[in-house]
Amino acid sequence: MIEKAVEQLLKDIPEYVTVVAAAKTRTVAEVEAAFRAGIRHFGHNYVQEAQAMISQVNFKANWHMIGHLQRNKVNAALHLFNLIETVDSIRLVKEIEKRAAQQEKTIPVLIEINSGREENKSGVLPEQVDELVQAVSAFEHLHLEGLMTMGPRFGDPEESRPYFIETRRIFERLENLNLPNVQMRYLSMGMSNSYRVAIDEGANVIRVGTLIFGSRD
């Protein structure tokens, strides 16, 4: 079932779009099935859950942090993830810089935009993005490579479109600033119910869980 779902999804999207399979609560066997079917990027919401899975899988993939990253988990996250999609505060930026310097590595990051201005969601508000971009740009162990936004998880996918449009406009504006340590490559938007709308509005990374693995128990 997972193999068929992946095959259908990869047929359905343009070749330039990267699928990140959201592996939260999934088993190692499920993730390995997705890998066999062609998925090469996997996302985790929690550092501890990622640690447990990555230590068990028998393949090499790209791992994305797609959940809110607590500052006390940054050190562990830097050992696990190839990309952190959820940078949303200057305090977090400073902690990543400190820990990455200690590990002598540079980590690619995306800034998470709270485009829907939802109080219960993480992410920086659109009007505060520039300040955060400047902060990332000033540090040598972070490399800003794009933006991420959620949009509503449920309901009519069209309801997400205004949030995706706003995030794309911010992306395009930042692209033209030519700041150090900033190269706008990835626009991560859209999930299982809204990925088509997200791709319409410029997403080249989509984060998909239910569509690949089925509903969570």
Q: Where is 41: in which H helix or E strand?
A: strand 41-44
Which pLDDT does position 6 carry in this prediction?
98
The CATH number linked to 84 is 3.20.20.10
Residue 180's CB is within 10 A of a number of other CB atoms, namely 12
Which pLDDT does position 217 carry in this prediction?
65
Q: What is the pTM of this model?
A: 0.96
Q: Are 52 and 22 in contact (CB under 8 A)?
A: no
Query: Could you tell me the sign of the dihedral formed by the alpha carbons of 134, 93, 47, 60, in that order?
Result: positive
Instruction: Report in angstroms the alpha-carbon separations of 216 from 23, 24, 51, 55, 143.
Output: 10, 9, 20, 22, 34
Which pLDDT does position 155 carry in this prediction?
78
Number of domains making up the chain: 1
Q: Which of 195, 203, 143 is nearest to 167 (CA)?
A: 203
Instruction: Report in angstroms the alpha-carbon separations of 197 from 24, 42, 47.
Output: 23, 21, 29
Rounded Cα distance between 149 and 167, Å, is 7
In which domain, by residue range, is 87 found? 2-213
Q: What tens-digit pLDDT sequence spans the chain (217 residues)?
A: 999 999 999 999 999 999 999 999 999 999 999 999 999 999 999 999 999 999 999 999 999 999 999 999 999 999 999 999 999 999 999 999 999 999 999 999 999 999 888 887 889 999 999 999 999 999 999 999 999 998 766 678 999 999 999 999 999 999 999 899 999 999 999 999 999 999 999 999 999 999 999 987 6
* CA 11 to chain CA centroid, nearest Å: 22
Distance, first Cα to last Cα, the chain: 16
